[in-house]
């Protein structure tokens, strides 16, 4: 059997691959557009034609180029006749042209490209109604949001210098990579909020908001609780659940930029995160009132576009300042200075400080001190959120949130010191 396989022509896999992909596309077109330029017979012929013009003439691309011109002419003619019949679509013609080039890719041995392109093309053809419905439902400003994220990740990031500057070893590429990562997490949570909806329950609002910003979510929920005293326990539960998502979000960011630090905190952050979510859910389920305790999206704080360029550059500037300050404090005051700074930054914004720590590992800051600093910053941040809940929320929501959040913060420090 092995000898038989060894004597098979090397081009046979490309031939079979082209035939399979073109048959798949042909079946799809036969089902949805039987009167188009091709179907279950024509598409394999087109694909095998592209394969033959590369495999039969491996030393020159002229035959394939001429075949592509001929295919372009046939596609143009087919589209012209479709226009005369009042059918302006060009999808099937474009798919036929693509199948011709996929055959050429398979003949050149570019199997992964051929498979990926063919499968994606069939999915796009098959899901016509879903994609057209999605396009009609997608607001224009959401497309602008996506383009902003692509600008951050695909346009700006590749051209940022990837080397260290100054005595603080500032790497612009790493700084902007952090901005892209934080923006990506925020964007994903933003899309989930749009897809799932925040008006389906307080816990959903707390979870989705906590994936974006647990501090902002706490303030918003606390303000709403002041007007709905009967739902005070439910709002406290949503605030606690938001903090649970904060632990998981921070762990994911640590995993991206300092995996050893994330591994050190896995049991604590995931344990506290899941525990906070469970406690928050139990508080919300304990409600027994006639009023429907939902988050009101019409009265929420308008965060606007989560990927405004001003916000991205502001975060980059804050992260740079915190990074320099952290390295300076670590060099001048050692581990004690870093821990004191963790407490101070935890009262303000934990993300820049914690991500700054990931850039200082291996430059005088050991992983144990960095992990303790992360725990202290998150614990102090819990304390501040509890204070915000007391200031902005109803009396019951504020007291309950403050008690539970400070308890989780204290437990995180105790667990780290013990284990």
Whether residues 21 and 149 fall in one domain? no
Would residue 209 be called left, alpha or beta, if left means φ above 0 and alpha means ψ between -120 and 50 degrees? alpha
Cβ-based neighbours of 241, under 8 Å, separated by 6 or more: 203, 206, 207, 210, 276, 277, 279, 280, 281, 284
Q: If you average pLDDT over residues 177-191, what whole number do you get?
A: 75
In a domain, 161, yes or no: yes
Whether residues 160 and 128 fall in one domain? no
Whether residues 100 and 168 fall in one domain? no
Q: If you average pLDDT over residues 399-405, what whole number do you get?
A: 92
**Looking at per-residue confidence, does 181 or 134 come out higher?**
181
**Looking at per-residue confidence, does 159 or 279 come out higher?**
279
Give the pLDDT score at 408: 94
Give the end of a domain, one of 134, 168, 186.
Answer: 134
In the chain, % of residues over pLDDT 90 = 15
Whether residues 120 and 148 fall in one domain? no
Whether residues 218 and 121 fall in one domain? no
Global pTM?
A: 0.67
In a domain, 115, yes or no: yes
Instruction: State how far the Cα of 172 lies from the Cα of 182, in Å rounded to an integer.
Output: 16
Q: If you average pLDDT over residues 86-103, what whole number do you get?
A: 80
Q: If you average pLDDT over residues 117-145, what whole number do you get?
A: 71
In a domain, 211, yes or no: yes
Beta-carbon-side half-sphere exposure of residue 116 (alpha carbons within 13 Å): 4
Whether residues 119 and 152 fall in one domain? no
- Out of 233-237, 290-294, 296-300, 361-365, the most confident range is 233-237
**Residue 81 scores a pLDDT above 60:** yes
Confidence of residue 303 (pLDDT cuts 50, 70, 90): very low
Give the pLDDT score at 1: 46
Give the pLDDT score at 308: 60
In a domain, 2, yes or no: no
**Looking at per-residue confidence, does 149 or 65 come out higher?**
65
Instruction: State how far the Cα of 114 lies from the Cα of 116, in Å rounded to an integer.
Output: 6
Confidence of residue 302 (pLDDT cuts 50, 70, 90): very low
In a domain, 349, yes or no: yes
Give the end of a domain, one of 104, 134, 164.
Answer: 134
> Among 142-151, 169-178, 331-340, which is the least confidently predicted range?
142-151
Q: If you average pLDDT over residues 48-58, what whole number do you get?
A: 86
- Out of 180-189, 323-332, 389-398, the most confident range is 389-398
In the chain, % of residues over pLDDT 70 = 80
Whether residues 94 and 172 fall in one domain? no
Whether residues 90 and 183 fall in one domain? no
In a domain, 282, yes or no: yes
Q: If you average pLDDT over residues 308-326, what whole number do you get?
A: 75
| Count of structural domains within the chain | 2
Give the pLDDT score at 305: 53
> Among 20-34, 92-106, 126-140, 214-228, which is the least confidently predicted range?
126-140
Domain residues for 47? 7-134
Mean of pLDDT over the chain: 79
**Looking at per-residue confidence, does 363 or 272 come out higher?**
272
Give the pLDDT score at 33: 66
Whether residues 104 and 144 fall in one domain? no
In a domain, 1, yes or no: no
- Out of 41-50, 137-146, 402-411, the most confident range is 402-411
Closest residue by Cα to residue 371 from 335, 344, 347? 335
Whether residues 126 and 144 fall in one domain? no
Instruction: State how far the Cα of 23 lies from the Cα of 111, in Å rounded to an integer.
Output: 17
> Among 103-112, 123-132, 174-183, 255-264, which is the least confidently predicted range?
123-132
Whether residues 146 and 123 fall in one domain? no
């Amino acid at each position: 059997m092995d000898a038989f396989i060894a004597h098979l022509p090397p081009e046979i896999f490309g031939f079979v691959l082209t035939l399979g992909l073109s048959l798949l596309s042909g079946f799809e077109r036969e089902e949805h557009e039987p009167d188009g330029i091709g179907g279950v017979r024509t598409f394999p012929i087109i694909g095998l034609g592209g394969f033959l013009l590369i495999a039969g003439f491996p030393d020159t691309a002229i035959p394939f180029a001429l075949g592509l011109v001929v295919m372009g002419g046939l596609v143009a003619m087919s589209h012209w006749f479709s226009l005369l019949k009042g059918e302006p679509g060009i999808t099937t013609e474009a798919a036929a042209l693509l199948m011709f080039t996929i055959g050429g890719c398979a003949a050149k041995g570019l199997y992964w490209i051929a498979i990926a392109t063919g499968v994606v093309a069939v999915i796009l053809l098959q899901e016509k109604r879903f994609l057209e419905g999605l396009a009609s439902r997608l607001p224009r400003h959401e497309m602008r949001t996506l383009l902003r994220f692509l600008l951050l990740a695909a346009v700006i990031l590749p051209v940022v210098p990837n080397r260290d500057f100054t005595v603080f070893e500032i790497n612009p590429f790493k700084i902007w990579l952090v901005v892209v990562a934080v923006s990506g997490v925020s964007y994903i949570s933003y899309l989930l909020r749009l897809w799932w909806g925040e008006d389906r329950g307080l816990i959903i609002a707390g979870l989705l908001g906590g994936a974006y910003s647990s501090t902002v979510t706490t303030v918003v929920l606390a303000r709403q609780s002041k007007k709905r005293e009967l739902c005070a326990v439910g709002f406290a539960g949503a605030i606690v659940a938001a903090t649970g998502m904060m632990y998981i979000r921070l762990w994911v960011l640590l995993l991206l930029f300092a995996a050893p630090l994330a591994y050190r905190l896995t049991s604590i952050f995931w344990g506290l995160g899941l525990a906070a979510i469970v406690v928050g859910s139990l508080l919300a389920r304990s409600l027994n009132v006639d009023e429907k305790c939902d988050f009101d999206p019409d009265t929420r704080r308008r965060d606007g576009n989560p990927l405004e360029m001003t916000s991205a550059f502001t975060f980059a500037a804050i992260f740079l300042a915190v990074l320099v300050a952290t390295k300076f404090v670590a060099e001048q005051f050692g581990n004690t200075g870093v821990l004191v700074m963790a407490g101070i930054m935890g009262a303000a914004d934990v993300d820049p400080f914690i991500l700054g720590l990931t850039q200082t590992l291996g430059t005088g800051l050991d992983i144990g001190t960095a992990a303790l600093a992360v725990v202290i910053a998150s614990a102090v941040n819990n304390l501040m959120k509890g204070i915000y809940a007391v200031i902005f929320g109803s009396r019951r929501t504020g007291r309950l949130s403050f008690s539970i959040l400070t308890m989780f913060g204290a437990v995180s420090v105790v667990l780290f010191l013990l284990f």
